[in-house]
């Protein structure tokens, strides 16, 4: 029993070693054939994840900076520093993303209107209303505010053409637009149209 078991174990170990060498050789062949693709894929995944994280961080930092600039401009307006607030809002409108740019224009128009520059406020609001990159809701609000600012200056036809998109039944601003038209008619003395 003793000598036979030793030979079987050695033969078994020899087969195992040969089998292991064959596997290593096959893996080496596969690596040589496809290893470059595996490395390229791994690099692409790492670069993609890194780029995504970097872009999100950049956007977060940009939005945070825009938010701080907007808050500083609002603070200037609240303190009554009209010229500085107007300049800060105008700069923000020119350099910010669509959302903050639109909000800055609305606030800039508010500062101009409060300072008595109705035509300047209307011009800023008209520019926002015509800006296709701005959110539709803010563009519509700009139309309404421009018409409200000009209610004492503009003709009824001009106000109607400004407010026409807001008079559609599905418009969220329909009732407000109708009120502005009614106020304009009342100020012209046309009580029938005002009703």
Q: CA dist 156 to 37, 168, 185, 193, Å?
A: 70, 18, 7, 10
pLDDT computed for residue 1 by the predictor: 47
Mean predicted confidence (pLDDT) in 113-127: 92
Mean predicted confidence (pLDDT) in 162-183: 89
3-state secondary structure of 155: coil
- What does the DSSP 8-state code read for residue 166? G
pLDDT tens digit sequence for 129-157: 999 888 889 999 999 999 999 988 888 88
| pLDDT(195) > 80 | no
Mean predicted confidence (pLDDT) in 29-36: 85
Neighbours of 148 (CB within 10 A): 22
Q: Provide, rounded to the nearest whole percent, the portion of the chain with pLDDT above 90.
A: 36
The token pair at 146 is 């421009």
Mean predicted confidence (pLDDT) in 25-45: 87
pLDDT tens digit sequence for 59-87: 899 889 888 989 999 999 989 888 999 89
What are the domain boundaries of the chain?
A: 2-150
CATH architecture of 2-150: Alpha Horseshoe (1.25)
């Amino acid at each position: 029993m003793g000598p036979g078991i030793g030979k079987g174990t050695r033969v078994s170990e020899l087969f195992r070693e040969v089998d292991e060498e064959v596997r290593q050789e096959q893996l080496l062949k596969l690596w040589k054939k496809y290893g470059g693709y595996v490395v390229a894929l791994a690099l692409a995944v790492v670069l993609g994840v890194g780029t995504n994280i970097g872009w999100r961080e950049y956007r977060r930092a940009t939005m945070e900076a825009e938010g701080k600039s907007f808050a500083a401009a609002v603070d200037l307006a609240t303190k009554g520093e009209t010229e500085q607030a107007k300049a800060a809002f105008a700069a923000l409108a020119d350099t910010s993303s669509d959302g903050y740019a639109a909000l800055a224009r609305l606030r800039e128009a508010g500062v101009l209107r409060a300072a008595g520059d109705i035509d300047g406020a209307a011009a800023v609001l008209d520019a926002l209303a015509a800006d296709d990159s701005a959110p539709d809701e803010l563009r519509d609000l700009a139309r309404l505010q421009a018409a409200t600012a000009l209610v004492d200056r503009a003709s009824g036809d001009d106000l109607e053409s400004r407010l026409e998109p807001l008079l559609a039944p599905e418009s969220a601003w329909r009732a407000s637009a109708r009120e502005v038209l009614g106020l304009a008619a009342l100020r012209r003395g046309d009580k029938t149209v005002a009703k």
